[in-house]
Amino acid sequence: MGATAAGAELRRALGVNFVTLGAPVIFESLTSRPWASITFAGERHKLTLCLPGPGAFQKGSFPCSPGAGVTIT
């Protein structure tokens, strides 16, 4: 499943915050899916992002390579 409206807003908000910190961010993927518990109904988002630049932890080549991003769920 792709990103929903809430997922797109999450991506926008994170991007703005990283820019405010002076850190460029590359969103490699973002998916959203419905999620619910006994007390909450909403969505679960999974995103992979890459923070290129000096000192950045990378598995591959500079600035970002496939699989070098960090996945957050």
For residue range 27-59, list pLDDT tens digits in order: 888 888 898 999 999 998 888 888 776 666 555
Closest C-alpha among 46, 42, 51, 61 to residue 17: 51
C-alpha to C-alpha distance for 15 and 30, rounded to whole angstroms: 13
Q: Are 6 and 34 in contact (CB under 8 A)?
A: no
The model's pTM is 0.64
What 3-state class would DSSP assign to 16? helix
Q: Are 44 and 73 in contact (CB under 8 A)?
A: yes
Query: Which is more confident, 17 or 60?
Result: 17
pLDDT level of residue 68 (50, 70, 90 thresholds) = low
Sign of the CA dihedral with 68 first, then 22, 15, and 46 last: positive
> Looking at 16-20, 53-57, 58-62, 69-73, which range is the least confident one?
58-62
